[in-house]
Amino acid sequence: MENTTIADLFDEMADLMEFRSENPFRIRAYRGGAQAIRDLDEPIAAIADDPNRELADLPGIGKTLAEKTMRLLESGTFPQLEELREAIPPIVIQISRIPGLGAKKAAKLYELLDIESLDDLKRACQEGLVSKLKGFGAKTETMILDGLQIAKQASERIYWATGDELATTIGDYMKTCTAIEMIEWAGSYRRGRETIGDLDLLVVASDRTAAMDFFESFSGRSGTIMRGDTKISIRVAKAFQVDMRLVDADQFGAALQYFTGSQAHNIHLRKLAKERDLKINEYGVFRNDDGSKVAGDTEQSVYQSVGLPWIAPELREDRDEFEWARNDALPELIELSDIVGDLHMHTTATDGNASIREMADAAIKRGLQYIAITDHSKRVTMASGLDAERLRQQWLAIDEIRKEYDGRLQILKGIECDILEKGGMDLPDDCLAEADWVLASVHYGQKQSREQISERILGAIENPHVDCIAHPTGRLINRRPAYDADMEAIMKSAKSHNKWLELNANPARLDLNDIHLAAARRHGIPIVINTDAHSVDGLNVMKYGIKQARRGGLTKRDVANTKSWIDW
- Helix (H) / strand (E) element for 242: namely strand 240-246
- Which residue would you say has higher pLDDT here, 385 or 99? 385
Task: Indicate the pLDDT class of residue 18, thresholds 50, 70 and 90.
Answer: confident
- Dist. CA 16–CA 18, nearest whole Å: 5
Task: Check: CB of residue 488 under 8 Å from CB of residue 523.
Answer: no
Which of 44-48, 423-427, 535-539 is the most confident on average? 423-427
CA distances to 2, 218, 263, 289 from 233, rounded to whole Å, are 38, 12, 21, 36
Residue burial 129-150, b: 16+ Cβ < 10 Å; e: rest: bbbebeebeeebbebbeebbeb
What average pLDDT score do residues 269-276 get? 97
pTM for this prediction: 0.79
pLDDT of residue 107: 81
- Dist. CA 505–CA 503, nearest whole Å: 6
Domain with residues 3-87, CATH architecture: Orthogonal Bundle (1.10)
Report the candidate in 318, 310, 309, 304 with the shortest Cα–Cα distance to residue 268. 318
pLDDT of residue 383: 86
Q: What is the CATH number of domain 251-326?
A: 3.30.210.10
pLDDT, tens digit, 9 for 90 and up, residues 241-272: 999 999 999 999 999 999 999 999 999 999 99
pLDDT, tens digit, 9 for 90 and up, residues 332-364: 999 999 999 999 999 999 989 899 999 999 999
* Lowest model confidence (mean pLDDT) among 70-74, 283-287, 563-567: 563-567
Flag whether pLDDT at 478 surpasses 80.
Answer: no
pLDDT of residue 568: 65
pLDDT of residue 173: 96
- Dist. CA 521–CA 495, nearest whole Å: 11
What average pLDDT score do residues 181-209 get? 96
pLDDT of residue 150: 58
Q: How far is CA 180 from the centre of its chain?
A: 31
Residue ranges per structural domain of the chain: 3-87, 90-154, 158-246, 251-326, 336-567
pLDDT of residue 238: 60
pLDDT of residue 437: 98
- Helix (H) / strand (E) element for 191: namely helix 187-191
Say whether 336-567 and 90-154 share the same fold: no
Q: What is the DSSP letter of 554?
A: -
pLDDT of residue 567: 64
Flag whether pLDDT at 424 surpasses 60.
Answer: yes
Flag whether pLDDT at 225 surpasses 60.
Answer: yes
Residue 542 one-letter amino acid = M
Task: Indicate the pLDDT class of residue 154, thresholds 50, 70 and 90.
Answer: very low
Q: What CATH class has 158-246?
A: alpha beta
Task: Indicate the pLDDT class of residue 93, thresholds 50, 70 and 90.
Answer: confident
pLDDT, tens digit, 9 for 90 and up, residues 488-535: 999 999 999 999 999 999 998 999 999 999 999 999 999 999 999 998
- Dist. CA 224–CA 217, nearest whole Å: 10
DSSP for 406-417, please give it. Answer: TTT-EEEEEEEE
Flag whether pLDDT at 99 surpasses 80.
Answer: no
Q: How far is CA 22 from the centre of its chain?
A: 30
Task: Check: CB of residue 463 under 8 Å from CB of residue 423.
Answer: no
Output the average pLDDT for the chain. 92
Task: Check: CB of residue 373 under 8 Å from CB of residue 347.
Answer: yes
**pLDDT above 70: percentage of residues in the chain:** 98
Superfamily name and number for 336-567: Metal-dependent hydrolases (3.20.20.140)
Q: What is the CATH number of domain 90-154?
A: 1.10.150.20
Helix orientation angle between 356-365 and 388-405, rounded to the nearest 10 degrees: 40
pLDDT of residue 541: 94
Flag whether pLDDT at 155 surpasses 60.
Answer: no
DSSP for 499-525, please give it. Answer: -EEEEE--TTT-BS-HHHHHHHHHHT-
